[in-house]
Amino acid sequence: MFAKGGRLNLGRVSLIILVILIAIVLFFMSINRVDAGYVGVITRWGAVNRVVYPGISWKIPIAEGIRKMDVRTQKDQVDASAASRDLQVVTSTIAVNYHLDGQYATNVYQNVGMLYQDILIAPAVQNIFKAVTAQYTAEELITKREQVRVKAEEALAAQLAVYHVIVENFNIINFDFSPEFNAAIEAKQVAQQQVETAKQLLAKAQIEAQTAVAQAQGQADAQAALKNTGALTPEYLEYLALTKWNGVLPIVTSGTPFIDVTGFTK
């Protein structure tokens, strides 16, 4: 009797322990922990049920599962190629910052999936870059770079907003053109520099000419003033001629040669 009763008690104890262990396992299986920067998508038997936010939450063991989706700022760098309005081939490297709108994580998970970055971001950037680039000439892409960036960012934000992805920033890291176009741009810059140099030389020549005219006019005015005042006498004119004489006698005057008297001595 005792042996039989002992086996019954041992069986009950084992059953109780098993139930307790199962209860503990189910308890821990029902606890969700979502870290900061993520949201949890709760699925029930595979179907999307609800969203849980960072912290501790509960779910039905076995029946419900959880998938964690990152809602922090993400950065993607995309290489894009397009044609400008004047049909120049343009390649660019574009950096995009974005994040998932956590309150709509269930929609994104159900309609797009966990890999929404690969499915949505890169193709959208490619399409937007092509559409915006086609509105500008190759030269305008350089001179109006900020305008191009803003227009592309607005277009990308509108396209991704439908999928509850928020665009934070759109940066065009570089524009690359064909070697022929680069050579043409360089030649144009050289020509512009030559034009500027020619303009500067012309302006200098005009200034020098104006200065010479002013000097001549000033001299004429001075002579007129001397004449009008009576100061331009024959004696003064003779003095001016002597001050400008270099000391060399002319060889011929009115067809009659001068005799060099410097060699004669008394």
Per-residue pLDDT of 23-54, as tens digits, reads 888 888 888 889 999 999 999 998 889 999 99
In a domain, 136, yes or no: yes
**Number of folded domains in the chain?**
2
* Residues 117, 103 share a domain: yes
In a domain, 226, yes or no: no
Residues 44 and 131 in one domain: no
> Under 8 Å CB-to-CB from 71, ≥6 apart: which residues?
37, 38, 39, 99, 100, 101, 102, 105
pLDDT recorded at residue 207: 83
Task: Examine the domain organization and report whether 149 and 85 are in the same domain.
Answer: yes
Q: What are phi and psi of 42, to 5 degrees?
A: -90, 125
Containing structural domain, residue 91: 74-177
Give the end of a domain, one of 112, 147, 177.
177
Distance CA 15, CA 106 (A): 41
What per-residue confidence (pLDDT) applies to 2?
46
Domain contains 218:
no
Do 89 and 173 fall within a single domain?
yes
**Residue 54 included in any domain:** yes
| Inside any domain, residue 259 | no
Claim to verify: residue 54 and residue 144 sit in the same structural domain: no
Q: What is the pLDDT of residue 262?
A: 46
Q: Are residues 103 and 129 in the same domain?
A: yes
pTM (whole model) above 0.75: no
For residue 35, being part of any structural domain is answered with yes
Residues 78, 137, single domain; the answer is yes
Residue 202 lies in a domain: no
User: 3-class DSSP state for residue 53?
Assistant: coil
CATH number at residue 80: 3.30.479.30
Q: In terms of domains, do 97 and 152 share one?
A: yes
Q: How far is the first Cα of the chain from the last one, in angstroms, to the nearest whole number? A: 180
Which of 147, 177, 207 terminates a domain? The answer is 177
Q: Is residue 224 part of a domain?
A: no
Segments in the chain below pLDDT 70? 1-8, 182-198, 218-266
| pLDDT (0 to 100) of residue 142 | 86
199, two tokens: 């303009």
pLDDT at 212: 73
